[in-house]
Structure formats: structure tokens, C-alpha cells
A = this chain, B = another copy of it.
Amino acid sequence: MRKVAIIGVGMTKFGENWDKSFRGMVTEAGVKAIQDAKVKGDEISAGYVGTMASGSLVGQEHAGALIADYMGLNPIPITRVEGACASGSLALRQGVMAVASGLHDLVVVGGVEKMTDLDTAAVSQILGGAGDQEWELFMGATFPGLYAFMARRHMHEYGTTEEMLASVAVKNHANGAHNKYAQFQREITIEQALNAKMVADPLKILDCSPITDGAAAVVLAPLDSASSYTEKPIEILASEQASGTLALHDREDLTSIKAAKIAGQNAYRKAGIAPKDIDVAEVHDCFTIAEIVATEDLGFFAPGQGGPAALEGKTKIGGEIAVNTSGGLKATGHPVGATGVKQACEVAWQLRGEREEAQVEDAEYALTHNVGGSGATAVVHLYKRGY
């Protein structure tokens, strides 16, 4: 298998993009990534796109063909992949496999979701399809409720506090304030987070990622030819996916996501690096508890230490490990199919040294962690500065 590099990245502003269509956003991100890679459209020979629920959200399935058409890339094959909120990373993984195998040289990977055309209740119902529809959604469990179970159990087992949860939101809003693509580019205080309206006890509105429109894209190439396109290729060291039970009630443990641990361990082994080597990580903070669990599952902190680490500032830029420098799902927003690809864009910018106020000094190794549903799909990618 060949080594693979990211040679171009691009994304739309995330937010309530009422003036932009589903197809317009993914085309915008794709064209930006292709321009950033300085390749011509006809050099691209395949594509993948992640979108979770375009059929339910905007009535449009068949997003792969749509993108080939609207980006002027016909007749190359573009394939949509879906794994709930991990759809973007699954698209990236298929793209990595296509280049690594030698089947394709230049591949474009996109992620997109258009969510704000429906009301919140309808969107919650649709997002519930990422969990076990027959045994969770039908019984009234939407995602804030499922993650609230995980939060309560984590608090019970480890003494994690609401203040620790809130500190994740405060950090991610602080990071988002320096991200021109973020839905929320403003800081919040810990008091605001703690006093925000309750959604599903103990998760308040500021513990939850928002509903968002947006798209992101990357261009992949074989590492050995990447430097002919860009001065700053980003090597993808590992691309690992694992599955867990669809329903939360089937898990042995609610304080950890087994699929994420497996994907992470496989990725570290494949790349030959350890959690301590990671300089910057984008993790799946759909809720604040999810970031705490992620930093434990990925080996940055011992089980139960993710909360205190967040409270003590160890995950800030300049701390032990910079987590969610983009602002995470919390502040950047969470257009579900786009999130995994946005994470790749953010770490690429970090490893290229282009994140200005939010730059992690001398970042060399990065990780992205993208979770579908309450953890039934987890995808971990590892990256290295390739120049």
C-alpha cells in the first residue's frame, strides 16, 4: 500500500447558511480544496462524499453523482458514504484506501450537511436515526438524552463535575473565537455554561453542539508525488474504523466508547506512535461529555482524568495537548456529514502552521476522532507534517 498525503483543503463557513444550498456548499468546499491543491479538475480521478441524511434533510439522495455533475467532474466515479456523524471520516477513509491501493492518484473527498431548513424537532428526529431507531428513538431517546446517560455514569464512576463539562465548552468557544469558519466566534464564561438552559440533565444548551449547515473537502495524493503539488503535504499515517453496538443499552460500559478505543489503538499501532506524540487533536465533542470521554479513550488521559484535565486547562492551546483548536463541534458547529472532513482541514492547517492566533507551536503530529451515533462507528486518523 502506498503512503497518502493531503495536498489541499477547503471549507465553507459553518453556520445557518440560509443563502447557500446543499449542492452549492459542497461545490464551494470542493473547488476551494482543488484550488488549494493547485491541481486541475481533470487530474482528479475519483471522489467520495460523506453526508448523513441529505435524503431526509433536503430531499436529495445521490450526492456523489450530484457533486460529479456540479463540480464538472463527470464521468469520474464519486461515491457517497454514510456512517451517521462519522460520515465525513468514512469518506476520507475510502479516499485514503483508493489512493493507498494504487487504484487512483488524485482523489477529492467532501463532507456536507444542510440542516437548518427544518425545525429543531424534525432535525432531532432525523439525527435519532444514527442510534437504534427501533429501541432508542421509538422510545423517545434523542441524542442529548443518550449522551446525558453517559455523562451521569461518568460523574457517578469518576466524580466528573458539571464544571468540568462546562470547562470544555468554555475552551472550545475560546478556540472558535479565532476560527473564521466557525458558527460561534465568541467566548463564553463558565458561569454562562453552568447556568444555561437544561436540555437533558446534566447537559445544558452550552454542553451541546449546534445544528449547522456546512461543507468541507480535501484532496488526496500519493505521498511520493505530493511535493510536486504543494510545499506542505500532510501525511496520513493511519486511517482506522471500528464498530460498536448501535444501542447504548447494549454496552458493557457507558463511560467509554469501545469502538473509539479500538480505532485509536489500531491507528497508533499502525503509525508506530503513541498518544504522547500527538500535538493537536480534533475530537468529536458533540456534547461536552463526549470530549472528556474521547480524551480518555484516545489515551491522552487515564480513565476518569479527562474531566479534571479539561478543568485544569491541559487541553487548551499551549497545554499538554491542544484539543479542538477549531472550536470543535461545539463552537465550529456540527453539519454532521461535514464534521470529519472539517477535522482533517483543521489539523492540516495546524500542521502547515497556518492557524495564526490558534496555532499550536511546532505541531508535528495530529489526530482526528469522529464518532457516529452514540459510538457505533468510530474513525481515527493520524497525520504527520510531511515536509
Contact = CB atoms under 8 A, between A and B. Distances in A.
B129 A62 contact: yes
Interface string A285-328: 00000000000000000000000000000000000000000000
A21 B134 contact: yes
A137 B66 CA distance: 14
Contacts of A21: 134
Interface in A47-81: 52-56, 58-66, 68-69, 73-81
A245 interface: yes
B129 A55 contact: yes
A184 B69 CA distance: 36
A55 to B, nearest CB: 5
A61 to B, nearest CB: 4
Contact of A244 (B52, B75, B250): B75
Of the listed residues A80, A132, A246, A258, the one surrounded by the most CB atoms of chain B closer than 10 A to its CB is: A246
A259 interface: yes
A97 B65 CA distance: 19
A338 to B, nearest CB: 15
Interface string A122-134: 0001101111111
A318 to B, nearest CB: 35
A139 interface: no
Interface stretch (A98-106, A196-204, A342-350): A98-106
B69 A243 contact: yes
Copies of this polypeptide in the complex: 2
A377 B250 CA distance: 38
Q: Closest 8 A-B residue pairs measured CB to CB?
A: A101-B101, A65-B376, A68-B243, A77-B241, A61-B129, A62-B84, A60-B133, A75-B242
Interface of A: 1, 21, 23, 52-56, 58-66, 68-69, 73-84, 90, 93-94, 97-98, 100-103, 125-126, 128-134, 137, 241-247, 250, 258-259, 262, 372-373, 376-377
16 contacts: A23-B134, A53-B61, A56-B56, A61-B84, A62-B83, A62-B130, A62-B246, A65-B243, A65-B376, A66-B132, A68-B376, A69-B245, A73-B243, A76-B243, A77-B377, A97-B97
